[in-house]
């Protein structure tokens, strides 16, 4: 029996510490493990040897700083995780192993707003199909991450009446999907998952304080402080879309006037071009036309960027992040939208906050949220689960 403070419990804690470091990074050299865990090089070397014998990690030759080194990653047999992203018009699912390799991924059009039950049915079918396609046994799935475009109540796990999913009000996605799939399910909103995705796989790797701004049907922010997503006690931290820019502006779905969302969300921006570009114009088309020199589309994108920048400036004055990552289709406009964002931040944020801030386009595009859902499982699962999956090699 392990007792607190015993050599056995200390060894177990060190094993889990190393597994946690590798799990969150994907792969690390032994020197990097030692730096991130605070363990000595000799202790790390012994633990890596033991984990390799267990079948928990794989060791491959690499180089670091011009010197030969060994890269440590979790074994492909240590388990798999699943990410599910419910968008307003799509459902995307990804299956990955604990070494951060995406093994299978698919996306289907779906009117997610209409019915929670229909969304759960389709998600269950896609998860089962994609896990089967990887060749992994269902018992190897250690968890599922699930994203929805709306705030989740931190205590009840339900979607509230302020969500952008009218057919989902009162639904408990984690409970429902866990009962269907028989594994732990972790749920978060799409902006938080976009932040996690970019943090683990994309433009925010190595950054501990950042904001991911998603501009789509609404405008939200995923906030990362000290390397961890900040959600707030009610799960509504990061609702940057409801910062008031103009008290006499359009009425927002939240009941206030002139929220950032009413100046930057897709459903407010596209109507500005209906008379000149037709009622069926899409944001993808607007971005493409703007890049081709269309003056109306360039003006709309620039104005939207300045509005987003005003909101980001307020965020900077409060939280002082070092990086802002812009996501959503408008981010594909690149500097046509990023330059106006930076211009507004420079004008409205305090100089000390603006000077230290980088504003970049997300690297993951439409995959940010589903990869963030995978990262959510990686961040929430227990390291004892990984060790329990291990089978000693002979």
* Cβ 219 vs Cβ 327: under 8 Å: no
Q: Give the residue among 16, 32, 24 at the shortest CA–CA distance from 71.
A: 32
pLDDT, one tens digit per residue, over 337-381 is: 999 999 999 999 999 999 999 999 999 999 999 999 999 998 887
pLDDT, one tens digit per residue, over 229-282 is: 999 887 889 999 999 999 999 999 889 999 999 999 999 999 999 999 999 999
Structural domains in the chain?
A: 7-74 (1.10.10.10), 80-189+370-389 (3.30.420.40), 203-362 (3.30.420.40)
C-alpha 342 chain-centroid distance: 23
pLDDT the model gives residue 384: 60
- Kindly report the pTM of this predicted structure: 0.86
Q: Give bridge partners of residue 261 from the DSSP assignment.
A: none
Counting as low any pLDDT under 70, the low residues of the chain are: 1-5, 160-165, 382-394
pLDDT the model gives residue 164: 62
Distances (CA, A) of 383 to 14, 17, 78, 210: 11, 8, 11, 26
C-alpha 275 chain-centroid distance: 36
pLDDT the model gives residue 190: 92
pLDDT the model gives residue 280: 96
pLDDT the model gives residue 394: 44
pLDDT the model gives residue 390: 56
pLDDT the model gives residue 389: 60
DSSP 44-93: HHHHHHHHHHHTSEEEEEEEETTEEEEEEEE-TTS-EEEEEEE-SSEEEE
């Amino acid at each position: 029996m392990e007792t607190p403070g015993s050599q056995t419990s200390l060894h177990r804690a060190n094993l889990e510490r190393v597994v946690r470091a590798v799990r969150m990074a994907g792969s690390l050299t032994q020197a990097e493990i030692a730096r991130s865990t605070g363990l000595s090089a000799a202790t790390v070397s012994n633990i890596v040897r033991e984990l390799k014998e267990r079948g928990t990690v794989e060791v491959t030759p690499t180089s670091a700083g011009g010197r030969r080194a060994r890269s440590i990653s979790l074994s492909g047999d240590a388990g798999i995780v699943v990410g599910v992203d419910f968008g307003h018009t799509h459902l995307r699912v990804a299956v990955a192993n604990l070494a951060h390799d995406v093994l299978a991924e698919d996306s289907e059009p779906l009117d997610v707003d209409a019915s929670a039950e229909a969304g759960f049915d389709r998600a269950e079918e896609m998860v089962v199909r994609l896990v089967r396609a990887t060749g992994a046994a269902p018992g190897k799935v250690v968890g599922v991450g699930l994203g929805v475009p709306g705030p989740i109540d931190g205590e009840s796990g339900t979607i509230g009446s302020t969500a952008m999913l009218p057919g989902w009000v009162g639904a408990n996605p984690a409970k429902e999907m866990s009962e269907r799939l028989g594994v732990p399910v972790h749920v978060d909103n799409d902006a938080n998952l976009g932040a996690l995705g970019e943090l683990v796989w994309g433009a925010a790797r190595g950054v501990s304080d950042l904001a991911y701004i998603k501009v789509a049907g609404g405008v939200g922010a995923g906030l990362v402080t000290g390397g961890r997503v900040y959600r707030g006690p009610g799960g509504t931290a990061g609702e940057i879309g409801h910062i008031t820019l103009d008290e006499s502006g359009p009425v927002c779905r939240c009941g206030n006037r002139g929220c950032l969302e009413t100046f930057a969300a897709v459903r407010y921006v596209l109507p500005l071009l209906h008379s000149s570009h037709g009622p069926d114009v899409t944001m993808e088309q607007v971005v493409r036309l703007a890049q081709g020199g269309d003056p109306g589309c360039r003006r709309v994108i620039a104005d939207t960027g300045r509005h987003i920048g005003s909101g980001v400036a307020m965020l900077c004055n409060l939280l002082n992040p070092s990086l802002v990552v812009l996501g959503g289709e408008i981010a594909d406009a690149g500097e046509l939208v990023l330059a106006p964002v930076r211009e507004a931040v420079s004008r409205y944020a305090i100089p000390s906050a603006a000077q230290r801030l980088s504003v970049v386009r997300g690297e993951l595009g439409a995959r940010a949220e589903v990869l963030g859902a995978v990262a959510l499982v990686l961040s929430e699962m227990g390291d004892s689960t990984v060790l329990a999956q291990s089978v000693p090699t002979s």
